[in-house]
Amino acid sequence: MAKRPNFIHLQIEQDLEEGKNSGRIHTRFPPEPNGYLHIGHAKSICLNFGIAEKYGGKCNLRFDDTNPAKEETEYVDSIMEDVHWLGFDWGDRLYYASDYFDKLHQFAVDLIKKGKAYVDDQDADTISRQKGTPTRPGFESPCRMRPVEENLRLFEKMTAGDFPDGSHVLRAKIDMASPNMHMRDPIIYRIIKASHHRTGDKWCIYPMYDFAHGQCDYWEGITHSVCTLEFEVHRPLYDWFIDQLMDSDYRPRQIEFARLNLTYTVMSKRRLLELVKEGYVNGWDDPRMPTISGLRRRGYSPESVRNFSERIGVTKVDGMIDVSLLEYSVREHLNKIAKRVMGVLNPLKVVITNYPVGETEELEAINNPEDPLMGTRKVSFSRELYIERDDFMEDPPRKFFRLAPGREVRLRYAYFVTCTEVIKNEKGEITELHCTYDPASRGGNSPDGRKVKATIHWVSAAHAVKAEVRLYDRLFNDENPTGHKDIDFRQFLNPESLTVLKECFIEPSVRKAKPLDHFQFERLGYFNVDYDSTEENLLFNRTVPLRDSWSKFQNGK
């Protein structure tokens, strides 16, 4: 896909022109391992790794693991898997904020010695109240004037674990009257007596994110710290820390961009975690989840996610992207690569009354009309078939082109058939169709050149394999589930987001398919094989339906 430069690229190019960092470009993707990555992170990953690729630079993967209470190894593993799946690699540059705990601690001690940090032993409420509000200045803590020696001693005791959680914090001494809340003597270290996923029980105190992030960037030689808009107001604080640290004119440049919002979805790890924990979905990788692992299981390809990221662009405008753009991106890619296959989701039996009993023949079908190199395959035809229930109407409206009593249609790659009889049960439900076929139309064309208005898909009843197919719809039925003041986002959960069809019949060529293999079920949509699928119990997920002007017409009526 053609990549056009976004505003961050332009700023980087300007830095390059000015000869900053002697032409070096180094970015990083810094997730907190407290949940699975989602499509919004994909945007950031594509941006950061993309910048490195574009300018011949490097991109680090760094886990921001400064809060042992929320972080787990499971998340670390999933994040690495997802970044790789998207097609990016951090080489030997895998880092953790926890790699810098010693340096950070030393830096804190240095700040104390310089009189720029102090231990506060007031409770959280009091400290919070003293901070003021965005429109009112804060006032100074009585601990602010504590002598350096005492601060050093207290911080040492904090480090040694002599104090309980929450009893003491270390604060930077900046300006309680600053119009920027983040400069009002921010807390930089707090006591958390929890075991850390990497450092174990070595530490009782942990740096705050704000005290770690900028310094990690600095120590890693990051030239461009790309992050989301909400950190814009933190930038002066990060700069303040770097001011205390820097020994040359090198300083990472932070550039903020707008996080991704998608219609009909929620995009915060906290809420996604709630959906998982409360059982509204079946785990982080439920195909209805906007997580990278969910999209993967749903059948999205890495290419389609990357193309989507490219297409939406990068700006500072906090907007909302239409999911239809994401869906367009998968269809676009899958159309090129997915093998075509015939499958009947809601089967209706058809008997070809003039076809010999017990006979079977092989017909040739094209695997992908978009790509001749994908070749052809044989599909078996016989007297008893299944077609899609939706492809027959006993009393069709004007614009319905498919099968109806007395009407002739083409069975794809096979024959022209005409419906001669509709069989019903006592309840008046259609159970079976009788048709006749035209032997001269073998392969799908009639020698006399007569036309049919529709081609429908089918499978041979005797040859088809049974499969379970899961149809997914959007998880929420409101465009902006979290955008309503007094209504919880769960209220907008779509009760029909998952439809399980257990009696589907697919042509046998899919039997050996492996999990994650993509298919187009002709005329229906793109489907992929689920992780839980086996040769005996085939299981497909619908990635996205095909564009469908007939259903659009129907719904519009």
Partner RNA sequence: UGUCCUGUGGUGUAAUUGGCAACACGUCUGACUCUGGAUCAGAAGAGUCCAGGUUCGAGCCCUGGCAGGACAACCA
Binding residue (CB under 7 A) for RNA from 221, 283, 405, 444: 444
Question: Smallest gap, in angstroms, from Cβ of residue 537 to RNA?
Answer: 26
Structural contact between residues 243 and 219, judged by C-beta atoms closer than 8 angstroms:
no
Region from 3-11, 110-118, 147-155, 466-474 binding RNA, contact rule CB under 7 A: 3-11
CB of 465 to RNA, least distance (A): 20
Residues 358-387 contacting RNA, CB under 7 A: 368-370
Q: Give the shortest CB-488-to-RNA separation in angstroms.
A: 17
Residues 233-252 interacting with RNA (rule: CB under 7 A): 233-234
**Cα–Cα distance, 154 to 92 (Å, whole number):** 38
Q: Alpha-carbon distance 207 to 211, whole Å? A: 6
Least distance to RNA, CB of residue 323, Å: 9
Nearer to RNA, 114 or 547 (CB): 547
Site stretch for RNA (CB under 7 A), options 217-225, 285-293, 322-330, 490-498: 322-330
Closer residue to RNA (CB): 20 or 168: 168
Which stretch in 430-438, 454-462, 466-474, 500-508 sits in contact with RNA by CB under 7 A?
454-462
Tokens 């992207």 locate to: 321
Q: Which of 248, 514, 556, 557 binds RNA (CB under 7 A)?
A: 556
**Annotation says 269 is catalytic:** yes
Residues 6+ apart with CB under 8 A from 482: 266, 268, 271, 489
> Considering only residues 496-555, where is the footprint of RNA by CB under 7 A?
520, 522-523, 546-550, 552-553
- What Cα–Cα distance (Å) separates residue 370 from each residue in 134, 174, 321, 366, 524? 58, 63, 29, 10, 17
> Quick one: which of 90, 100, 231, 300 contacts RNA (CB under 7 A)?
231
Closest contact distance (angstroms) between CB of 383 and RNA is 19
- Distance, CA of 545 to CA of 520 (rounded, Å): 9
Contacts with RNA by CB under 7 A: the residue count is: 90
For residues 180 and 244, which CB has a smaller minimum distance to RNA in the complex?
Answer: 180
Token pair listed for 109? 């001690």
Smallest gap from residue 185 Cβ to RNA (A) = 10
Binding RNA (rule: CB under 7 A), the pick from 340, 383, 407, 470 is: 340
Least separation in angstroms between CB 2 and RNA:
9
Binder of RNA out of 24, 271, 311, 463 (CB under 7 A):
311
Residue 230 makes contact with RNA by CB under 7 A: yes
CB of 98 to RNA, least distance (A): 11
Give the distance from CA 352 to its chain's centroid. Answer: 46
Judged by CB under 7 A, which stretch of 163-171, 295-303, 486-494, 533-541 contacts RNA? 163-171
Helix (H) or strand (E) holding 188: strand 187-191
d(CA 76, CA 338): 31
List the interface residues with RNA, window 268-307 (CB under 7 A): none
Q: Token digits for 113? A: 């010695």
Using CA atoms, how far residue 496 sits from 147, 296, 473, 475, 499, in Å, is 64, 21, 7, 8, 7
Using DSSP's 3-state secondary structure scheme, residue 120 falls into: strand
**Looking at this protein, which amino acid is placed at residue 170?**
L
Residues contacting residue 55 through CB under 8 Å, at least 6 positions apart: 12, 16, 25
Instruction: Report helix, strand or coil for 509.
Output: helix
Look up residue 291 and give its two tokens. 């997580």
Tokens 């959007």 correspond to 474
Distance CA 336, CA 214 (A): 43
The structure tokens listed for 118 are 């102090």
Pull the structure tokens for residue 433: 């169709």
Q: Exactly one of 269, 331, 407, 523 is catalytic; which is it? A: 269
Candidates 229, 246, 440, 487: give the one binding RNA (CB under 7 A).
Answer: 229
- What are the Cα distances from residue 291, in Å, to 76, 124, 362, 373, 426? 15, 35, 42, 33, 48
What's the closest the beta carbon of residue 534 comes to RNA, in angstroms? 27
Q: What are the φ/ψ torsions at residue 109 (nearest 5 degrees)?
A: -60, -40
Contact pattern from residue 460 through residue 499 relative to RNA, giving x for each residue in contact according to CB under 7 A and a dash for the rest? ----------------------------------------
Q: Which of 67, 141, 291, 533 binds RNA (CB under 7 A)?
A: 67
Distance of CA 251 to the CA centre of its chain: 32
Shortest approach of RNA to residue 485 CB, angstroms?
Answer: 9
Which residues ranging from 118 to 147 are in contact with RNA (CB under 7 A)? 122-124, 127-128, 131-135
Q: Which residues of 63-86 are buried (b: 16+ CB within 10 A; e: fewer)?
A: bbbbbbeebeeebbebbbebbebb
Candidates 246, 320, 440, 462; binder of RNA (CB under 7 A) is: 320
- Out of 182, 193, 271, 434, the residue judged to bind RNA by CB under 7 A: 182
Subset of 387-426 contacting RNA (CB under 7 A): 399-402, 410, 412-413
* 33 three-class SS: coil
What mask, x for binding RNA by CB under 7 A, covers residues 70 to 109?
x---------------------------------------
Q: Which of 11, 16, 32, 109 binds RNA (CB under 7 A)?
A: 32
What does the alpha-carbon distance between residue 482 and residue 437 come to, in Å, rounded to a whole number?
Answer: 55
Among 12, 15, 60, 64, binds RNA (CB under 7 A): 64
Which residue numbers are catalytic? 32, 259, 269
